[in-house]
């Protein structure tokens, strides 16, 4: 089976859709604090 290249596009889409990110309510630790929620599959 040939598969495509793995990307971070789903993660980036969830990040850009996140209400805190949209409201600029983020800090340098935002990704670390939100990683589990942002990487859950099946969300968008």
Predicted local distance difference test score (pLDDT) of residue 1: 80
Identify the pLDDT of residue 4: 87
pTM more than 0.75: no
For residue 19, is it left (φ>0), alpha (ψ between -120 and 50) or beta?
alpha
pLDDT of the residue at 36: 92
Model pLDDT for residues 3-44, shown as the tens digit of each residue: 888 889 999 999 999 999 999 999 999 999 999 989 886 544
d(CA 41, CA 26): 22
Domain layout of the chain by residue ranges: 1-44
């Amino acid at each position: 089976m040939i598969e495509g290249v793995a990307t971070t596009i789903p993660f980036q889409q969830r990040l850009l859709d996140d209400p805190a990110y949209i409201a600029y309510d983020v800090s340098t630790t935002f990704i670390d604090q939100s990683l589990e929620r942002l990487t859950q599959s099946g969300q968008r």
